Amino acid sequence: NYPVIITSISNSPQTIVALFASKLRRSKCILWIEEWASSKTMSLLSFLSQLVSHIVIRSVDAIVTEGTPQYAYVRKLNIPKEKVFFANHCSLDYSKYPTKNLKDELNIKNFQVILYVGRILERKGVHILIKAFSRIEKERKNVALVICGDGKFLPYCKQLAAKLKLKKVFFLGEVKEEEMASVYKAADVFVLPSCSGQEFEGWGLVVNEAMSMGLPIITTNMVGAAYDLVKESTNGYIVKNGDINALHRALTKILGNEELRTIMGRNSRKIFEEFNDFDKMFEGFKQAIDYVIRRNA
């Protein structure tokens, strides 16, 4: 009986149900979209999934995009401009949370720390990061890799770290929200190495979170957040997905230059403050809701 239904993930069962329900009840359906590129796989399942996605995108009454790549993608599908709205994807500001000294707990007090936070899936590229770190560890003293998260690819990543005989890789598993500020505070650089050439990373909210704590960012061209939040050579680097050499070079630049690291961290915080505005996010949804209600009048 709601006049407006808001859903996300264009090809998900709940979105399809929401769209059909809105048509049956003559209400309006708004899609909050994270897609910003078409899948490159050629399987029948991927083709059908993409077909459903495109049908849904063209059938909803309005679309709210979470970033500029999503906005450009929707417009490329010839969705009328007046139906497309922007609500920048915001995260918690972990600088406001209390912290403890994680470096002391891990006995890496004087170490430089590379951090990954997220699910441990193959498409997240954690194995690429581990391989790049194996080179860093050979070249630099007192450097550590901290990996937070869980997932079906975790056993492989642990085996890879053991096979490469890495001394300072820490798998912390799932970390509670109230402890995440301590994790980010312990880091010198944050890496989101999503690597699949087939599936994109819709956004990557951990990039916002890391930037809230003033960290330099290294991510890949498969991450949606990169295009709004990571300014090349200003607060980090965007490297080609799956490219161990490029990731190694970016890490070397940041770890090897304290002044650059400080400037990039400061810039990350500044960009975060400008982008991570919940009032603007609210306004984007409000504009979409007002639009569909007016059309229903």
> Within 13 Å of residue 189, how many CA atoms lie on the same side as its CB?
33
Bridge partner residues of 218 (DSSP): 191, 237
Question: pTM score, two decimals?
Answer: 0.95
CB-CB contact of 92 with 213 (8 Å): no
Tokens 């630099």, located at residue: 140
What beta strand segments (E) does the chain contain?
Answer: 4-8, 28-33, 62-65, 84-86, 112-117, 143-148, 169-173, 189-192, 217-220, 236-239
Bridge partner residues of 148 (DSSP): 117, 173
- Which of 213, 262, 201 is closest to 235 using CA atoms? 262
The pLDDT value recorded for residue 285 is 98
The pLDDT value recorded for residue 297 is 66
Tokens of 86: 């922007």
Amino acid making up residue 214: G
Give the three-state DSSP class for 275.
helix
The pLDDT value recorded for residue 38 is 74
Bridge partner residues of 4 (DSSP): 28
Q: Count the helix, strand and coil residues of the chain and give each as a percent rounded to the nearest 5.
A: 50, 15, 35
The pLDDT value recorded for residue 91 is 97
CB-CB contact of 73 with 52 (8 Å): no
The pLDDT value recorded for residue 46 is 80
**Torsions phi, psi of 77, nearest 5?**
-85, 10
The pLDDT value recorded for residue 171 is 99
The pLDDT value recorded for residue 197 is 58
Q: What's the angle, vertex CA 257, arms to CA 182 and CA 250, rounded to 5?
A: 80
Note the Cα 189 to chain centre separation in Å.
Answer: 15
Helices and strands (H and E) in the chain: how many: 12, 10
- Which of 49, 149, 105 is closest to 158 using CA atoms? 149
- Which of 208, 191, 207, 219 is closest to 115 using CA atoms? 191
The pLDDT value recorded for residue 70 is 97
Give the three-state DSSP class for 45.
helix
Task: List, for the chain, all residue ranges whose pLDDT scores fall below the cut of 70.
Answer: 39-42, 197-198, 297
Amino acid making up residue 45: L
The whole-angstrom separation of Cα 290 and Cα 247 is 44
How buried is residue 170: exposed, middle or buried, by Cβ count under 10 Å (0-12/13-18/19+)? middle
The whole-angstrom separation of Cα 27 and Cα 13 is 18
The pLDDT value recorded for residue 200 is 87
Domains delineated in the chain: 4-90+277-296 (3.40.50.2000), 94-275 (3.40.50.2000)
The pLDDT value recorded for residue 109 is 96
